[in-house]
Amino acid sequence: MAAEIKAPAYRVFPIAPAVQPGAMAETKSFVASDKIQEALGFPGQLVEDWHDRAIAKMGDLLEKYRSFKVFMDACVHCGACSDKCHYFIGSGDPKNMPVARQDLMRSVYRRHFTLPGKYFPKLVGARDLTREVLDEWYSYFYQCSECRRCSVFCPYGIDTAEITMAAREILDSVGYGQKYSNEIIGKVHKIGNNLGLPGPALADTLEGLEEDVKDACGVDVRFPLDVKGAEVLLVTPSADFFAEPHIDSLIGYGKVFHAAGISWTVSSMASEAGNFGMFIGNYEQLRKIALRVREAALELGVKRIVVGECGHAWRVAYSFWNTLTGIGAGADDPYAIQLQSQLDHSYKQPMHICELTWDLIERKVITLDPEANDKYVVTFHDSCNVARGSNMGDFFGGQFEIPRNIIKAAANHFVEMADGTTREQTFCCGGGGGLLTDDLLDLRIKGSLPRMEALQQVVDEHKVNFMACICAICKAQFTKVLPYYGFDRRVVGGVHQLVSNAIRLGDK
């Protein structure tokens, strides 16, 4: 790898780059050690009969997931998705084109599961699963952030993220896991959150936070932990507890609850909204991690479950929690009813912190003074999992409008980035989907190119100096890559950071 990692130059014309085969072939995130693998019940090392087990696993997934099966068959190689991936735009490596990424898997699918691939492999681009192909899978399926941008543009909605998840699941099952994601999942099970912050440390942190806020604004804003009978259980990414700029949003949530007089608590058992089970496509892990929230909710007896600023966590919460754990409504089975009868259904379950805040603003329960943010010209980066994998409010496109509404209530100067880079067409920050690790820094910088170009444009034209977002991974990724593109790292921040600055804290 190059000694010094540099950002690619902005494109003169915003069109697809020429293909440069092999440009990212050497990029490969660290492989998980046996200890990390075994903690999750995966084989510690590449098993001897990996070929047969991989094919068998593939067959198993084809039976379990209609998405996988239909997406393997339906692609017509039209190329509509080929220029839509930020990793292709940033690197030019054709295997980072969504269709080519799928073809890494599809070629093996055709060989083993279709007649033409069995008898005429060359004709239909079918390949045997060799060790080289397996390594290629590892390399390129960990160069996909599962952002679903490609699925917006495909005429059949083929979502490369689904293929990536299947590939990672197969790789894990033969003992070829990724260090970053699997280590984090291990920490969630062992300690309770992705960052490995144990209960007592969390209690200290929250106490310290209360003092800091008291010093800063003279009000006793509480940050409660494990309070039984609280109305709201807040489940938020653990980065919110101490990373910059995440913590400023946590302060924002605390102030909102304070100003509205809503009792709330964090849980030490479920001190993590993130769910990397989704990233590795493993249903059991996805479910097991989600179940912590169910248990915490039952134990604390809360009436509402609210999720903090985190993109993939919100996708899991909004789209999957009802399925996985019964957090939601409309169930008719005893398992889910146990929890659903405890929850207050005059509110959506689960609810995004932005839904909660916007509702309070609309009902004039809380008041914001946008002048407090007059030093900022704000733009909004739609996070991919929120934009393309979830919703907010009860209306079409609520996930776009509600955060923007809050920003406009909290700040006077708001501008949009260019069309085609926002809302459902938003570009990934470049660090999502289990790629937020320093061994993939080069890829992360390249993948952020389209977003950085769009940001540069509004910086030049409108003097934007604050890019708000609602995702812990986006915040961490931008904090890291902004300097490579010549920006101040503090340009990125949370929506509730703006709320925190602007909210009026009465004596409620």
At 211 the three-state DSSP class reads helix
Asked if residue 283 binds another protein (CB under 8 A), the reply is yes
Q: Tell which positions 141-170 bind ligand HEM, by CB under 6 A.
A: 155
**Among 76, 123, 219, 329, contact with ligand HEM (rule: CB under 6 A):** 76
Strand order in the sheet with 351-352: 264-266, 232-235, 304-307, 351-352
Tell me how far, at minimum, the Cβ of 102 lies from ligand SF4, in Å: 6
Quickly count: other Cβ atoms within 10 Å of residue 387's Cβ: 25
**Among 124, 217, 262, 269, contact with another protein (rule: CB under 8 A):** 124
Name the residue among 6, 436, 394 with its Cα closest to residue 184.
Answer: 436
Alpha carbons within 13 A on the beta-carbon side of 264: 27
Could you tell which of another protein, ligand SF4, ligand HEM, none binds residue 231, using a CB distance below 5 to 8 A set by kind? none
Q: Tell which positions 131-190 bind ligand SF4, by CB under 6 A.
A: 144-150, 154-156, 158, 160-161, 164
**Site size with ligand HEM, rule: CB under 6 A:** 3
Asked if residue 386 binds ligand SF4 (CB under 6 A), the reply is no
Asked if residue 61 binds ligand SF4 (CB under 6 A), the reply is no
Q: What CA–CA distance (Å, rounded) separates 345 from 374?
A: 38
Name the residue among 428, 425, 420, 459 with its Cα closest to residue 444.
Answer: 428
Both tokens assigned to 430:
């470049």
Q: Tell which positions 160-189 bind another protein, by CB under 8 A.
A: 162
Asked if residue 70 binds another protein (CB under 8 A), the reply is yes
At 165 the three-state DSSP class reads helix
Q: What CA–CA distance (Å, rounded) separates 402 from 405?
A: 5
**Site size with ligand SF4, rule: CB under 6 A:** 28
Residue 158 or 449: the one with the smaller Cβ distance to another protein is 158
* Strand ranges, E, within 328-376: 351-352
Determine contact, residues 150/98, Cβ cutoff 8 Å: yes
Residue 91 or 391: the one with the smaller Cβ distance to another protein is 391
**Among 26, 41, 52, 155, contact with another protein (rule: CB under 8 A):** 155
**Site size with another protein, rule: CB under 8 A:** 81
Q: Tell which positions 391-430 bind ligand SF4, by CB under 6 A.
A: 428
* Strand ranges, E, within 74-183: none
Q: What CA–CA distance (Å, rounded) separates 28 from 131?
A: 15
Asked if residue 78 binds ligand HEM (CB under 6 A), the reply is yes
Tell me how far, at minimum, the Cβ of 412 lies from another protein, in Å: 28
Q: Which residue is listed with tokens 């990390």?
A: 36
Q: Tell which positions 301-340 bind ligand SF4, by CB under 6 A.
A: none
Residue 232 forms beta bridges with which residues? Answer: 264, 304
* Strand ranges, E, within 173-272: 232-235, 264-266
Site string for ligand SF4, 93-112 (x = CB under 6 A): -----xx-x-----------
Tell me how far, at minimum, the Cβ of 79 lies from ligand HEM, in Å: 8
Residue 32 or 165: the one with the smaller Cβ distance to another protein is 165
Could you tell which of another protein, ligand SF4, ligand HEM, none binds residue 415, using a CB distance below 5 to 8 A set by kind? none
**23: Cβ–Cβ under 8 A, 6 or more apart, which residues?**
91, 92, 93
Both tokens assigned to 173:
């099952």
Asked if residue 358 binds another protein (CB under 8 A), the reply is no
* Amino acid at residue number 355: E
Asked if residue 74 binds ligand HEM (CB under 6 A), the reply is no
Name the residue among 480, 499, 278 with its Cα closest to residue 385.
Answer: 278
Q: Tell which positions 424-443 bind another protein, by CB under 8 A.
A: 424-425
Could you tell which of ligand SF4, another protein, ligand HEM, none binds residue 144, using a CB distance below 5 to 8 A set by kind? ligand SF4
Residue 178 forms beta bridges with which residues? Answer: 31
Tell me how far, at minimum, the Cβ of 242 lies from another protein, in Å: 30
Determine contact, residues 297/326, Cβ cutoff 8 Å: no
Asked if residue 11 binds another protein (CB under 8 A), the reply is no
Q: Which residue is listed with tokens 């079409």?
A: 396
Stretch of residues binding another protein (CB under 8 A), selected from 47-55, 146-154, 181-189, 293-301: 146-154
Q: Rg of the Cα trace of the chain?
A: 23
Q: What CA–CA distance (Å, rounded) separates 143 from 168?
A: 11
Residue 155 or 261: the one with the smaller Cβ distance to ligand HEM is 155
Q: What CA–CA distance (Å, rounded) separates 310 from 67?
A: 25
Tell me how far, at minimum, the Cβ of 164 lies from another protein, in Å: 13
Name the residue among 503, 340, 472, 329 with its Cα closest to residue 410.
Answer: 503
Asked if residue 125 binds another protein (CB under 8 A), the reply is yes
Interface residue list for ligand HEM (CB under 6 A): 76, 78, 155
Residues at the interface with ligand SF4 (CB under 6 A): 75-81, 84-85, 87, 98-99, 101, 144-150, 154-156, 158, 160-161, 164, 428
